[in-house]
Amino acid sequence: MISTLLSRTRRGADGDPVPRLAYGADYNPEQWPRDVWEEDVRLMREAGVNIVSVGIFSWARVQPGADQWDFGWLDEVMDLLHEGGIGVDLATATASPPPWLSTAHPEILPVTADGETLWPGARQHWRPTSPVFREHALRLVRAMATRYADHPALVAWHVSNELGCHNVYDYSDDAARAFRDWLRARYTTLDALNHAWGTAFWSQRYGDWEQILPPRLAASHPNPTQQLDFKRFSSHALKEYLRAEREILREITPDVPVTTNFMVMGGTKGMDYADWAEEVDFVANDHYVVPGPQDRDELSFSANLTSGIAGGRPWFLMEHSTSAVNWQPVNLAKRPGELARDALVHVAHGADAVCFFQWRQSAAGAEKYHSAMVPHAGADSDVFRAVTALGATLKTLAPVAGTEREPARVGILYDWQSWWASEQDSHPTSLLDYRQEALDWYSALLALGVRADLVTTRADLGRYRVLIAPVLHVVPADLAKTLTRYAEQGGHLVTTYFSGIVDENDHVWLGGYPGALRELLGIRIEEFGPLPAAETVELDDGTTGALWTDQVTVTDPETQVLARYRTGAQAGRAAVTRRPTGPGSAAYVSTRLGVEGLTSLLPRLLEPAGVTSELPADARGPVELAVRRGPAGRFLFLVNRTDATVPVLGLAGEVLLGARDADGTLTLGPRDVAVLRQPAV
Ligand code: GLA
Ligand code: GLA
């Protein structure tokens, strides 16, 4: 789908669409005079750009007043791009409402939990559930779709922008009304809601739907199920908004694919993209590196999870940065090689399009210090030269376009319900970090050179020999059954502390933790033992635990103890267990071992499943392997994770990117990426 998007703008000699990787950026020509546009198109061609996203923040420009429209400039931009052979992923332009709208209708402005209005002056100051906002925004969508339906540059629709980036949680009266509607649909009766929310507690019993509010600033901890349902509702409300725009686009341009840019990256938690993926014609994602010890592992993790959300099919990298961002406390420039390496890791994990925010670095506005493809220095710059080199690289990688992820043998289950619920307030610890725990397992697998797929509960879990489910806190009865069946049929399940604790209503499974998985794991826990921030405990296998411990009792004589606590309140008790389940097993890790500890433990968890690295010995750790496959072949992406040169010996295949030495060794320079093509299997 993505690889042939551009076929609307250019065709191969035989008239068939030429599959290729898309390359480009957000393009904001309204920030520049007309003569710059011509230079833009010329430089885009020079850089190998073939797609740009236009109009994302153009509402005030295309509709300067309620009944005033000004499409002339955008017509011209679209024409210029088309003449340059550049396709347009056209935004519906609804991301940031213009001042005339928020002045006439301040009731579209979001409200925080403590009742503060989010005023205009930045962007995305709209309530996802505002009927007034929706009416105006959908009118604009209709106008845009009608205007450009037949424009030859149009290759895809870009709904709004990063839905929920700043406005996922709105506590306004509109939100309250929509929340009640959502709750009615979920529970049908007030009795069912009262039961689910456990309103017998603290005198919270509702006698009328109208009494129900979003979890606004309260005197103490708001009802946890109300909080969890509000998270579910808020994600759903944005999804409904996405559908509303999409329906208009499909009505007017049924043949033009529709997407919106997700934000699978650190710091973003509110949108359940596993639940959104079906709503778009192809998944698109934005990703920014947040500097830190695992920053590039996190990039790979996010790209991998995006692939999981997309069901292993190709997806569209809508934004990342050529160099520094502008929203960190300190904004680091990328080092040489990082621009290409970061982009290619996304391609390794299924991106068929590589786009940046943004094409030309702004001279004014809140993002003027955010890097771009054409920096303030202009085209005579290292950044633009690196951008042009990447354009050429992506051309050589054209055969990869359209290929899918080759499933790994290890899956890591990522679940928004557990993410949201496990990090709520009033818990045994406020230090638990769901995403970090999942990332630590991923980093440990990278350190061992073992390929793993991030997957959601919608995936076919049975295809994985090992399934790691970190902090799988919410386990409804049917998920418990699925996991039990998985292990009994030969799968090797690994789970951790604070997993299997509650059902979908956030009610604790009773009789000893982890209620939903107790029998499967062959253990029983009477009390949690969270650790103070600075405290750690030693395990008898030499690893160190932090954050959490459990008072584990082994209840099944078959359950093996893989490691015991050597120090701390649980000294002598089991810390890591595994219960054989016929051909499979179910393992439990009761503490946070961190990357180092998990790297040391994992071989013992992988061994019974027969899972080892697919990389040559010397490359295990320094090199990340990701595999895409399709009719055109099997593509091995080899990413040098280090700042040193790494030789990779003994891997067969035609070199698509990189170079072999005379003796056939593939040598990866610091931060290099190589791509090998093997015959399709
Ligand atoms: C987001 C937005 C862009 C821009 C970038 C800056 O991804 O979608 O408009 O603000 O962040 O990093
Ligand atoms: C106070 C309250 C109780 C309970 C405890 C919990 O004592 O009176 O209702 O909330 O705190 O520590």
Q: Give domain status of residue 394, yes or no.
A: yes
**Which one from 245, 298, 319, 338 is the annotated catalytic residue?**
319
Q: Are residues 347 and 447 in the same domain?
A: no
Ligand 1 pocket, residue 39 CB under 6 Å: no
CA angle 652, 655, 661 (to 5 degrees): 80
Residue 19 has pLDDT above 90, yes or no: no
High-pLDDT (> 70) share of the chain, %: 98
* Backbone dihedral region for residue 168 (phi beyond 0: left; psi -120 to 50: alpha; all else: beta): alpha
Q: Are residues 375 and 243 in the same domain?
A: yes
Q: Give domain status of residue 79, yes or no.
A: yes
Domain extent for 517: 410-609
pLDDT tens digits, residue range 440-461?
A: 999 999 999 999 999 999 999 9
| Mean of pLDDT values over 226-250 | 98
Q: Are residues 570 and 629 in the same domain?
A: no
pLDDT tens digits, residue range 486-540?
A: 999 999 999 999 999 999 999 999 999 999 999 999 999 999 999 999 999 999 9
- Per the listing, tokens 């402005």 go with 109
More confident residue, 18 or 360: 360
| N- to C-terminal Cα separation, the chain | 22
Ligand 1 pocket, residue 419 CB under 6 Å: no
Predicted pLDDT at 206: 98
Q: Are residues 633 and 603 in the same domain?
A: no
Predicted pLDDT at 12: 40
Ligand 1 pocket, residue 288 CB under 6 Å: yes
Q: Are residues 153 and 53 in the same domain?
A: yes
Reported as half-sphere exposure (CB side, CA atoms, 13 A), residue 370 has a value of 20
Q: Which amino acid, one-letter code, is at 39?
A: E
Coil/strand/helix, residue 584: strand
pLDDT tens digits, residue range 29-47?
A: 999 999 999 999 999 999 9
162 catalytic residue (yes or no):
yes
| Domain final residue pick, 404, 420, 447 | 404
| Domain final residue pick, 609, 634, 650 | 609
Residue (of 3, 88, 95, 5) closest to 40 by Cα position: 88
Q: How far is the CA of 161 from the centre of ligand 1 (A)?
A: 9
Q: How far is the CA of 584 from the centre of ligand 2 (A)?
A: 45
**Which one from 30, 39, 46, 162 is the annotated catalytic residue?**
162
What is the DSSP secondary-structure string of 513-537? Answer: BSTTTHHHHTEEEEEE----TT-EE
Q: Give domain status of residue 185, yes or no.
A: no
Q: Are residues 621 and 567 in the same domain?
A: no
Ligand 1 pocket, residue 467 CB under 6 Å: no
Residue 16 has pLDDT above 80, yes or no: no
Q: Are residues 378 and 472 in the same domain?
A: no
Total domain count for the chain? 3
pLDDT tens digits, residue range 103-137?
A: 999 999 999 999 999 999 999 999 999 999 999 99
Find the ligand nearest to 96 CA: 1
Residue 278 has pLDDT above 60, yes or no: yes
Q: How far is the CA of 515 from the centre of ligand 1 (A)?
A: 42
Ligand 1 pocket, residue 286 CB under 6 Å: yes
| Mean of pLDDT values over 159-180 | 98
Q: Give domain status of residue 229, yes or no.
A: no
pTM across the whole model: 0.98
Q: How far is the CA of 529 from the centre of ligand 2 (A)?
A: 21
Residue 14 has pLDDT above 80, yes or no: no
Give yes or no for a contact between 626 and 348, defined as CB atoms under 8 angstroms apart: yes
pLDDT tens digits, residue range 618-649?
A: 999 999 999 999 999 999 999 999 999 999 99
Residue 264 has pLDDT above 60, yes or no: yes
488 catalytic residue (yes or no):
no
Ligand 1 pocket, residue 325 CB under 6 Å: yes
pLDDT tens digits, residue range 51-78?
A: 999 999 999 999 999 999 999 999 999 9
Identify the CATH number of the domain in which residue 310 sits. Answer: 3.20.20.80
Predicted pLDDT at 10: 47
Identify the CATH number of the domain in which residue 628 sits. Answer: 2.60.40.1180
Q: How confident is the model at residue 95 (pLDDT cuts 50, 70, 90)?
A: very high
Tell me the pLDDT of the chain averaged across its residues.
97
